[in-house]
Amino acid sequence: MPIKYYNKTNLFHMFNNEISYLFTILENGQLGQLYFGKRVNDKEDYQYLSERGHRDMQACPIGDNPYFSLEHIRQEYPAYGNGDMRYPAYEIETSDGSRIVNFTYKNHTVFAGKKELTGLPATYVEHDEEAVTLEITLEDELINSTIVLSYTIYEERPVIARHARFHCDNNQGISLETAMSMCLDLPDKEYNMLYLAGAWSRERHVCERNLEYGTQAIYSMRGCSSHQFNPYLVLKRKNTNEQAGEAIGFNFIYSGDFLGQIEVDNFNVVRILMGIHPNEFRWKLNKGESFTTPEVVMVYSDKGLGGLSLAYHNLFKDCLIRGYWKEKERPVLINNWEATYFDFNEEKILQLAKAAAETGIELFVLDDGWFGTRNDSTSSLGDWYPNLEKLPEGITGLSRKINDLGLKFGLWFEPEMVNENSELFQKHPEWVFGDRRRHLSKARGQYVLDFSKEEVVEYVYQMIKKVLSEASVSYIKWDLNRAFSEVFSNDRGKEYQGKARHKYILGTYSLYERLRKDFPEILFESCASGGARFDAGMLYYAPQAWASDNTDAVERIKIQYGSSMVYPICSIGSHVSAIPNEQVFRKESLSMRANVACFGTFGYELDITKLQADEIQVIKKQVQFMKKFRKLIQFGDFYRLRSPFEQDYNTAAWIVVSGDKKEAVFAYYRILQRPESSYDKIRLWGIDEETEYLVEEIRDSVLEAEKLTSYKHYGSELIHIGISVSDYSSGMKHIAKEIQGDYLSRIYYLKAEK
Ligand code: DGJ
Average pLDDT, rounded, for the chain: 96
Q: Are 229 and 534 in contact (CB under 8 A)?
A: no
pLDDT of residue 692 exceeding 60, the answer is yes
**pLDDT at res. 648:** 85
Distance (Å) from CA 577 to ligand 1 centroid: 14
Mutate to test the pocket of ligand 1, among 202, 344, 546 (most ligand atoms within 8 A of CB): 546
| DSSP strands (E only) in 155-256 | 159-168, 174-186, 191-197, 205-210, 214-220, 229-237, 247-253
Phi, psi of 361 (to 5 degrees): -60, 145
Maximum Cα interatomic distance, the chain, rounded to a whole number of Å: 88
Ligand 1, from 224, 337, 411, 538: best to mutate by most atoms within 8 Å of Cβ?
337
Residue 201 in this model has a pLDDT that exceeds 80: yes
- Measured CA to CA in angstroms, residue 599 lies from 1, 235, 442, 635 at distances of 39, 26, 36, 11
Residue 731 has pLDDT above 70, yes or no: no
Q: Residues 737-742: what's their mean pLDDT? A: 73
**CA 341–ligand 1 middle distance (angstroms):** 9
C-alpha span between 309 and 571 (Å, rounded):
14
**Closest residue by CA, ligand 1 atom 9:** 529
| pLDDT at 167 exceeding the cut of 70 | yes
Q: How far apart are CA 302 and CA 687, in angstroms?
A: 19
Q: Which tens digit of pLDDT belongs to each residue from 637-650?
A: 999 999 999 878 89
Amino acid in position 624:
Q
- The CA-CA-CA angle for residues 70, 284, 459, to 5°, reads 135
- Packed helices 346-359 and 394-404: angle between N→C axes, nearest 10 degrees: 30
Q: CB of 403 within 8 A of CB of 409? A: yes
CA distance 401 to 268: 65
- Tell me, in angstroms, the distance from the centre of ligand 1 to residue 339's CA: 12
- Nearest residue to 23 (alpha-carbon basis) of 122, 129, 138, 116: 138
Instruction: Give residue-wise pLDDT tens across range 63-107.
Output: 888 889 999 999 999 999 889 999 999 999 999 999 999 999 999
Query: Under a CB-based contact definition with an 8 Å cutoff, are residues 62 and 70 in contact?
Result: no
Judged against a pLDDT cut of 70, whether residue 736 lies above it is answered with: no
Instruction: Judge contact between 672 and 742, C-beta under 8 A.
Output: yes
User: Pairing between strand 544-546 and 572-573?
Assistant: parallel
**Selection from 412, 413, 396, 410 nearest residue 331 by Cα:** 410
pLDDT of residue 462 exceeding 90: yes
Q: Please report the pLDDT score of residue 332 as a whole number.
A: 98
**Length of the chain (residues):** 754
Pair 334, 608: CB distance under 8 Å: yes
Residue 703 has pLDDT above 70, yes or no: no
318, 549, 552, 700: the catalytic one is 549
d(CA 470, CA 750) in angstroms, rounded, equals: 46
Sheet architecture: strand order including 710-714: 637-642, 651-657, 663-670, 744-752, 692-698, 710-714
Rounded distance from Cα 384 to ligand 1 centre (Å): 16
Say how far apart CA 549 and CA 605 lie, in whole Å. Answer: 11
Which residue has its alpha carbon closest to ligand 1 atom 2? 529
- Give the binding-site residues of ligand 1, using a 6 Å CB cut-off: 337, 367-368, 412, 479, 481, 527, 529-530, 546, 549
Q: Which atom of ligand 1 is nearest to the CA of 605?
A: 5
CA 373 to chain centre: 34
Give 745 Cα–ligand 1 centroid separation in angstroms: 28
Lowest mean pLDDT among 9-23, 188-202, 707-721: 707-721
Q: Tell me whether residue 534 is exposed, middle or buried, using C-beta atoms within 10 angstroms of its C-beta: 0 to 12, 13 to 18, 19 or more.
A: buried
Q: What is the residue-wise DSSP string for 643-655?
A: -TTSSS--EEEEE
Q: What pLDDT was estimated at residue 1?
A: 58
Distance CA 191, CA 202 (A): 26
Ligand 1, residue 548: give the atom nearest the CA.
3
Query: In sequence order, which residues have a C-beta less than 8 Å from that of residue 442 and are 6 or more positions away?
Result: 420
> pLDDT per residue over 221-272, tens digit each?
999 999 999 999 999 999 999 999 999 999 999 999 999 999 999 999 999 9
pLDDT in tens, 498-517: 999 999 999 999 999 999 99
Alpha-carbon distance of 276 to 279, in angstroms, equals 9
Whole-angstrom Cα distance, residue 753 to residue 715?
11
Mean pLDDT throughout 185-203? Answer: 98
Phi, psi of 547 (to 5 degrees): -75, -35
**Substitution candidate for ligand 1 out of 333, 527, 601 with most atoms within 8 A of CB:** 527
Residue 678: Cβ-neighbour burial (10 angstroms; 0-12, 13-18, 19+): exposed
549 as an active site residue: the answer is yes
Taking residues 282-303, what's their average pLDDT? 98
Closest CA to 630 of 408, 331, 319: 331
Please tell me which residue in 257, 479, 637, 727 is annotated as part of the active site: 479
Q: Looking at residue 564, what is its pLDDT?
A: 98
Q: For residues 329-348, give the mean pLDDT.
A: 98
Nearest atom in ligand 1 to the alpha carbon of residue 527 is: 3
Q: What is the CA radius of gyration of the chain?
A: 27
CA distances from 141 to 54, 64, 109, 146, 460 (A): 30, 23, 20, 8, 44
- Produce one character per residue of 95-118: b if its CB has 16 or more CB atoms within 10 Å, e if not: eeeeeebbbebeebebeeebeebe
Regarding beta strands 710-714 and 174-186, do their DSSP bridges make them parallel or antiparallel, or are they unpaired? unpaired
Q: Which of 190-204, 351-365, 715-729 has the lowest mean pLDDT?
A: 715-729
* Alpha-carbon distances of 268 from 8, 60, 215, 240, rounded to whole Å: 30, 21, 12, 20
Q: Are 579 and 586 in contact (CB under 8 A)?
A: yes
CA atoms within 13 A on the CB side of 517: 7
Residue 376 alpha carbon to ligand 1 centre in Å: 12
